[in-house]
Chain A
Amino acid sequence: MTIRNVRDHGQRYRPRMACLKKVETVVLEMQDPKTGVKSQTQRLVITTIPHAITGEDIVAWIANRLKIDASEAQAMGTMMVAFGYIYPLQDHKRLIIKPDTSLYRFQTPYFWPAQQWPVEDTDYAIYLAKRNIRKKGMLELYEQEEYNNLYKWMNHKWDFIVMQAKEQYRAGKERKKPDRVVFDCQERAYWVVHRPPPGTVSAMDHGLDRMVDPNLEEKKTPDYYRRIIMFTQQCIMRPRVKSSVSIGALVKYTATYKEHDPFLNSCLPSNPWLTDDITYWNLNMPNVETPTKMRVERWTFSFGELLADPRGRDDFRLFLKKEFSGENLAFWEGCEDLKWGAAETMKEKAQQIYKTFLARGAPRWINIDGKTMDITVKGLAHPHRYVLDAAQTHIYMLMKKDSYGRYLKSPVFKETQKKAAAPDAHRFSETQLEQNSKRRRPSLSPITLKQQEEEQKAKLAASGPVDITQVMSKLEKKQRK
Chain B
Amino acid sequence: MGEMEQMKKEAEGLKTQIEAARKAVNDTDMASAAAGVAPAPRVQLKTRRTLKGHLAKIYAMHWCTDNRLMVSASQDGKLLIWDSHSGNKVNAVPLKSSWVMTCAYAPSGNLVASGGLDNMCTVYNLKTPVIKTVKELDAHAGYLSCCRFLSDNEILTASGDTTCALWDLETGKQTTVFLSHVGDCMCLALSPDNNSFISGACDSLAKLWDIRDGQCKQTFLGHTSDINAISFLPSGNAVVTGSDDCTCKMYDLRADQEVICYQDAALNSGVTSLALSMSGRLVFAGYDDFNCNIWDSLKGEKVGVLSGHDNRVSCTGVPADGMCVCTGSWDSFLKIWN
Contact = CB atoms under 8 A, between A and B. Distances in A.
Nearest to A80: B268
A152 interface: no
B7 A226 contact: yes
Interface string B207-251: 000001000111100001110100001110110000111100000
Interface residues of A, number: 90
A460 interface: no
A16 interface: yes
B138 interface: no
Contact of A201 (B86, B184, B238, B310): B310
A244 B33 CA distance: 7
A225 B7 contact: yes
Nearest to B162: A212
Contact of B225 (A9, A257, A264): A9
Given A76-B268, A340-B151, A262 B322 contact: yes
Contacts of B27: 242-244
B22 A240 contact: yes
A225 B11 contact: yes
Contacts of A8: 224
Contacts of B291: 75
B336 interface: yes
B11 A228 contact: yes
Contact of B85 (A249, A278, A341): A278
Contacts of B153: 340-343
A241 B150 CA distance: 28
Contacts of A254: 37, 279-281, 297-298
Contacts of A250: 33, 233, 235, 237-238, 252, 259, 280, 298
Contact of B14 (A26, A233, A260): A233
Contacts of A360: none
**Which of A208, A238, A250, A278 gathers the greatest number of chain B CB atoms within 10 Å?**
A250
A132 interface: no
Interface string B135-156: 0000000110000001111100
Interface string A269-306: 00111101010010010000000000000000000100
A111 interface: no
A254 B250 CA distance: 14
Contact of B323 (A68, A218, A262): A262
B270 interface: yes
Interface in A233-265: 233, 235-236, 238, 240-251, 253-258, 260-264
24 contacts: A18-B244, A201-B311, A208-B101, A212-B183, A214-B184, A225-B8, A232-B14, A246-B252, A251-B34, A253-B233, A254-B37, A261-B282, A261-B322, A262-B322, A263-B45, A264-B41, A273-B338, A281-B68, A440-B85, A443-B83, A445-B109, A446-B66, A447-B127, A450-B109
Given A232-B15, A304-B192, 18 more contacts: A201-B311, A211-B160, A229-B10, A229-B14, A240-B24, A243-B255, A249-B235, A249-B237, A250-B33, A254-B281, A261-B277, A261-B322, A273-B49, A273-B336, A340-B151, A341-B151, A443-B66, A447-B109
